[in-house]
Structure 1
Amino acid sequence: MISQDPEPDSNMEVSMDTEYHLLSNCYVIGERIMDNGFKNAVVDALVEARPIGNTGNRRKPSVSTLTIIYTSTPEHSPARRLMANILVTFLTQMPFPFVNDLVEAFIENKYSSDMRSVRVDPKLYHEA
């Protein structure tokens, strides 16, 4: 599946996320035509083009970019590993207790392909 452009937050982020988005689609094309050299070149470009936000910090791949990669590549695709590793670099910037809580939440909710079904009940977070 080749996806349309994402809906970005600002004009500056448009071009950056669009580049990432387009490169992800290119990787999918390389997957379809089974051209490893092309896919490797796209991976290099994805790493080089990691979006940088207005603050100068690297930005995470958008949900639409992740969806392109994860719906259009095989389970053990290097592009999937790349996306996961990029996101891990963001987790390392988070407070360690938050990362632990995040992992616990995934385990408690028996992480599935559709986490949207997880209901956040405010009463669960009230103090006695």
Structure 2
Amino acid sequence: MLRRYREGEIDLPQLRVWLEAESTRVDAQVPRGAWLKLMRGSEAQSNGAIARLLPACIHCLGVGEPKAFASHQEYQQYTHRRDAAVANDILSEIPQPHFSSEGPDSAGAAMYCRCTHCGSIWAFVEPEKAESGSWNRII
């Protein structure tokens, strides 16, 4: 069901209804903190919990592990791998998801991608001023 939500087949209220109906079964499999974020958190908090519960696939992780870039060289390496993944239809560029603005603000411009294999949504934030940029899975 989390995958159906990540792929946009159901919305957050529908997911919460299902989680409530399946609470006994889900409670045994989902850590309490993640459960609370899914049931009571904002959409961004719920998506963060889902990103931790559902693994990304080897295809989109080929760009690299989610992280803040440590150097300009690392940013360039991630840029090269991201561009190659887009060119090879592993990732597709998408418009900014409506829920992404709920997360931490960033000075750099962001590009959003969806993995064509697992449906994960990633944010590639360009370095700007004191910020080093990042590659993060938002759901």
- Normalization by structure 2: what TM-score? 0.27
Q: State which structure, 1 or 2, has the greater radius of gyration over its C-alpha atoms.
A: 1
More strand by percentage: 2
- Normalization by structure 1: what TM-score? 0.28
